Amino acid sequence: MESIDSIALPERDALWRFVLERSGVRGLLVRLDESWARVRASADYPPALADLLGQCLAAAALFTGHVKMQGRLSIQLRADGPVPRVFAECTHLGRLRGIAQWQGDLHRPLGLSQLGDDRVLAITIETEVATGREPRRYQGLVPLEGERIETAFEAYFDRSEQLPTRLLLAADAVHATGLMLQRLPESREAGSEGWETAVALFETLAESELLESDPQSLLFRLFHQEGVRVLDTRLLGFGCSCSRERVANVLRSLGREEAFAAVEGREQAEIRCEFCGTRYGFDRVDLGRLFDESGPGPSRLQ
Ligand SMILES: [Zn+2]
């Protein structure tokens, strides 16, 4: 326990990386409060859908701690039906954002089959190569089977890393949390006993306990006999990557006619970022500049 005590553990919006030294298992624990409140407040989500969005946000944070990368990792659930899209993203700097789309009434608990047909889970990693260059993009796709989102993520890691992985994710109106365990590759020769013990302990954890306990007591309660040791703690927070330049690119991609139609009869077209609520205004002069490839007139005369 001294190893846990020796690191100052913040109470909110953080990710803990730990190992269970006696079982050959690594793990991650995430707890989101403020960032989750920001994401949740961006739309009037039905509670059942908010739970699922919170779980995906917690998972995005867990996976960013799991995969070494410089860039952003996103989780997307796509379906042809009442919930066409759930999106959660975390950057290597720990900036989180998320959004979900839905139609009609959704009831709790929201099983994955209720999202719609042709359900797919996409995990995308965009790595920054160098400033000004296109990021390198890797996307893994798996069908969304079963009812629980954890099962889909476990299947994803099973395929992509061939290492047994277990996950528990939970969200309510205040917290979004997650715990992930993975067997260390080097523990394979040591037999499966350590992994099985860790999983048996993991399975005693209820969603309510994951939501309500402070991370320090939770890790100690579950894994003190397995020699739990926190490796590091990373602070997380809400963050959006939108900018006037990105909105300008979207307008450009619409084409001149459609972009100008948006200012028809008003002073300016207002584009609101669906993630953070920031509003970007473009008037006729702005749009004129946007579509004038050769730059503003006077400079050409010089
Ligand atoms: Zn934004």
pLDDT digits (tens, 9 = 90+) for 224-263: 999 999 999 999 999 998 999 989 988 899 888 988 988 8
What confidence tier does 174 reach under pLDDT thresholds 50, 70, 90?
Answer: very high
Write the CATH number of the domain with boundaries 2-238. 3.55.30.10
CA–centroid distance, residue 120 to ligand 1 (Å): 25
CA–centroid distance, residue 276 to ligand 1 (Å): 4
CA–centroid distance, residue 166 to ligand 1 (Å): 32
Ligand 1 ion: Cβ-proximal residues, 5 Å cutoff = 240, 242, 273, 275-276, 278
Q: What is the pLDDT of residue 139?
A: 93
Q: What is the pLDDT of residue 188?
A: 61
Q: What is the pLDDT of residue 172?
A: 96
CA–centroid distance, residue 134 to ligand 1 (Å): 20
CA–centroid distance, residue 87 to ligand 1 (Å): 14
CA–centroid distance, residue 174 to ligand 1 (Å): 22
CA–centroid distance, residue 78 to ligand 1 (Å): 21
Strands 71-80 and 85-91 come out as: antiparallel
| Torsion 71-10-6-228 (CA) sign | negative
Distance of alpha carbon 299 from alpha carbon 302, whole angstroms = 5
Give residue-wise pLDDT tens across range 62-119.
999 888 888 999 999 999 999 999 999 999 999 999 999 999 989 888 999 999 999 9
Half-sphere exposure in the Cβ direction for 263 (13 Å, CA): 17
CA–centroid distance, residue 64 to ligand 1 (Å): 20
Tokens of 127: 């790595």
> 116 — phi, psi (to 5°)?
140, -170
Does residue 173 register a pLDDT over 70?
Answer: yes
CA–centroid distance, residue 247 to ligand 1 (Å): 10
CA–centroid distance, residue 99 to ligand 1 (Å): 11
| Mean of all residue pLDDT scores within the chain | 89
CA–centroid distance, residue 183 to ligand 1 (Å): 37
pTM of the model: 0.87
CA–centroid distance, residue 208 to ligand 1 (Å): 32
Distance of alpha carbon 296 from alpha carbon 289, whole angstroms = 6
What confidence tier does 300 reach under pLDDT thresholds 50, 70, 90?
Answer: very low
Instruction: Tell me: cis bond preceding 135? Omega within 30 of 0 counts.
Output: no
Give residue-wise pLDDT tens across range 183-199.
988 766 566 889 999 99
Q: What is the pLDDT of residue 128?
A: 82
Distance of alpha carbon 20 from alpha carbon 17, whole angstroms = 11
CA–centroid distance, residue 274 to ligand 1 (Å): 7
Distance of alpha carbon 260 from alpha carbon 282, whole angstroms = 10
Strands 71-80 and 25-32 come out as: unpaired
Question: Domain 244-295 - what CATH class?
Answer: alpha beta
Topology match between the domains 2-238 and 244-295: no
Q: What is the pLDDT of residue 176?
A: 97
- Which of 301, 71, 299, 35 is CA-nearest to residue 177? 35
| Mean of pLDDT values over 43-47 | 94
* Contact between residue 237 and residue 97 where contact means Cβ atoms under 8 Å apart: no
CA–centroid distance, residue 30 to ligand 1 (Å): 23
| Torsion 260-246-137-125 (CA) sign | negative
Q: What is the pLDDT of residue 14?
A: 96
CA–centroid distance, residue 213 to ligand 1 (Å): 32
Spell out the alpha helix ranges (H) of the chain.
Answer: 2-5, 34-40, 47-66, 149-161, 193-202, 207-212, 215-223, 244-254, 256-261, 284-291, 297-301
CA–centroid distance, residue 97 to ligand 1 (Å): 9
Distance of alpha carbon 96 from alpha carbon 64, whole angstroms = 10
Rg of the chain (C-alpha set): 22
CA–centroid distance, residue 96 to ligand 1 (Å): 11
Domain coordinates in residue numbering, the chain:
2-238, 244-295
Query: Position 247: which residue type?
Result: V
| Mean of pLDDT values over 34-42 | 95
Does residue 302 register a pLDDT over 90?
Answer: no
| Mean of pLDDT values over 152-176 | 93
> 233 — phi, psi (to 5°)?
-130, 135
Does residue 13 register a pLDDT over 50?
Answer: yes
Does residue 142 register a pLDDT over 60?
Answer: yes
| Mean of pLDDT values over 203-219 | 94
The string of DSSP letters for 214-277 reads -HHHHHHHHHGGGTEEEEEEEE-EE-----HHHHHHHHHHH-HHHHHHTTTTSSEEEEE-TTT-
Q: What is the pLDDT of residue 229?
A: 96
CA–centroid distance, residue 172 to ligand 1 (Å): 24
CA–centroid distance, residue 249 to ligand 1 (Å): 14
Q: What is the pLDDT of residue 131?
A: 72
What confidence tier does 301 reach under pLDDT thresholds 50, 70, 90?
Answer: very low
CA–centroid distance, residue 56 to ligand 1 (Å): 19
